[in-house]
Amino acid sequence: MTTKTVHLPGFYWHVHHDLLIEWCYDYQERVKYIKDTKPAREAPLRFRLFRPVRGVLPAAYVHAGQAYVQARQAYVQAEQAYVPARQAYVQAKQACVPAEQAYRQACDQAGQAYIQARQAYVHAGQAYRQARQAYRHAEQAYGHAEQAYDQVRQAYRHAEQAYRPEIEALHALECPGCPWDGRTIFPQSAN
């Protein structure tokens, strides 16, 4: 009977070829991405080096990394709300333009057409204002999340630099024979 290894989210070595260590959200998703999109000649090295960190990382680095992950998740959620809100806003604005044109044309003609066009214009205007308000709210939340994400990412990168010697020492123990040169696992192709 074979047991399947379960890979939980956490810090991993070489999630990407140009980063020594980073948080991996979904191991299987990353493996699939490598298989589907990366050159076949790179796969053996990528899979040999892509592994969870087993040793103890500096607590401040782990804390900064966890804050980074949380800020990134908030940023992604805000972006997911922002994109459809913006699309709804653009669509409502586009729908409002012909309604306004029909309204103005009907104003010139008077009568029942004017009343119907005015009702359509008022309705489209309400939908537009609601979509604009939702869009502005989502845009503001997205901007705040992006700003927080950028700040936390900077703190995370600072912690990564501050604890680089400890991280590299742990990497040397856990990833023997690794071709990492400080920039990539493919140093011969980096030039």
DSSP character at residue 175: S
Mean pLDDT for all residues in the chain: 86
The 10s digit of each residue's pLDDT in 118-151 is: 787 778 788 788 878 878 888 888 888 889 889 9
Segments making up each domain of the chain, as ranges: 1-57+165-191, 79-162
Q: Which residue reads 């103005």 in tokens?
A: 104
Predicted TM-score of the model (pTM):
0.64
Contact (Cβ atoms closer than 8 angstroms) between residue 77 and residue 85:
no
CB 183 within 8 A of CB 18: yes
E strands present in the chain: 10-13, 21-24, 51-52
